[in-house]
Amino acid sequence: MNCVLAALAVLSLGWADAEVAESQDREQQKAEQAEFAKWAADAAASYEIRLTDAPDAPLELRPEPVLKWSNPEVGRIYGHVFIWTAGGRPEAIASLYKWYHPFTHSSHEFQSLALGALTAQREGGMAWSTTRPGLELRPLSDAAVPAKTPAERLRQMRDVVRQFRADETSREGDQSPLRLLSQPIYRYQATKAPLLDGAMFAFVRATDPEIILLLEARNEAAGQAQWSYALARLNSCTMRVFYNDREVWSAAELPWSVVHDRAEPYFTVQFR
């Protein structure tokens, strides 16, 4: 009996130690997340981005991230996604993230969502300058005519987005599907023609955004509103997107020299 009691006592101590370690880990993660949130907000606010064809009007930074993400599969990493808008429409997006384990560096990952060129300044210097659009709007010819009310158009967008799927292939050659977040991470209403309505969706790994999908209702030249879509990368690996099982977009793996090129619509800068 004494042996049994001794064994139970050892097990109880082990459980207690595990609970203490788990509690300490939770507290550490809370502290990291709080520190990261301030770092990310300060980093986003340090950029001033402008459309090249509207140089006198800086884009508006949305102060709250449109998405907060982590990826426990690869380590303790936290990311916040910010957007810069013009008249409500997102023109630039950045995923700002920081490692706490097993690495310690941070990154600012940018993607232009503009239909033209843009520039960004940081701390008085040029941080980013593109010469071409960040994405291409394509019509959804088989989609219904955009509805009359915002609520009805949102239902249409949710129906349309379910017909998309995506996958990516890592630099090591491993292909895997991406998960579509069913709710838009950002919804925007028109403030100037031809835009009528729009929403931004994300394909993610864990909760880390890999591909951005924009759906927009636009009043075209003929006066008839129509749905269009556009896709943009938030990773440098190979990606594909399908609509009704037909491939409609692909993005090849980018060399590291291109990933860090501040003249590209997609680029990443790393800080150690």
Residue 87: phi and psi, rounded to 5, are 60, 30
Query: Does one domain contain both 115 and 169?
Result: no
Q: Of 233, 222, 183, 196, which Cα lies nearest the Cα of 87?
A: 196
User: Side chain identity at 156, as an amino acid letter?
Assistant: Q
Q: Give me the long-range contacts of 9-13 (CB less than 8 A, separation at least 24).
A: none
Query: Does one domain contain both 119 and 146?
Result: no
Question: Do the domain assignments include residue 26?
Answer: no
Q: With bands split at pLDDT 50, 70 and 90, how would you rate the model's confidence at 52?
A: very high
Query: Does one domain contain both 115 and 156?
Result: no
Of residues 65 and 29, the one with the higher pLDDT is: 65
Query: For the segment 3-38, what is each residue's pLDDT rounded down to a tens digit?
Result: 555 555 555 556 555 565 566 678 888 999 999 999
Query: Does one domain contain both 202 and 235?
Result: yes
Q: Of 256, 204, 268, which Cα lies nearest the Cα of 73?
A: 204
| pLDDT recorded at residue 199 | 98
Query: Does one domain contain both 114 and 66?
Result: yes
Query: For the segment 236-250, what is each residue's pLDDT rounded down to a tens digit?
Result: 999 999 999 999 999
| pLDDT at residue 130 tops 80 | yes
Query: Does one domain contain both 160 and 249?
Result: yes
Query: Does one domain contain both 63 and 85?
Result: yes
Please say whether the beta carbons of 261 and 227 come within 8 A.
Answer: no
Query: For the segment 133-192, what is each residue's pLDDT rounded down to a tens digit?
Result: 999 999 998 999 999 999 999 999 999 999 999 999 999 999 999 999 989 999 998 777
Count of domains for the chain: 2
Query: Does one domain contain both 97 and 204?
Result: no
Please say whether the beta carbons of 128 and 120 come within 8 A.
Answer: yes
Query: Does one domain contain both 90 and 163?
Result: no
Residue 68 structural domain:
43-128
Query: Does one domain contain both 155 and 222?
Result: yes
Give the domain-ending residue among 128, 146, 164.
128
Query: Does one domain contain both 48 and 94?
Result: yes
| pLDDT recorded at residue 28 | 86
0.75 cut: is pTM over it?
Answer: yes
Of residues 125 and 8, the one with the higher pLDDT is: 125
Give the domain-ending residue among 95, 128, 161.
128
Query: For the segment 193-214, what is each residue's pLDDT rounded down to a tens digit?
Result: 899 999 999 999 999 999 999 9
Question: Do the domain assignments include residue 16?
Answer: no
Q: What are the tokens at 250?
A: 């692909």
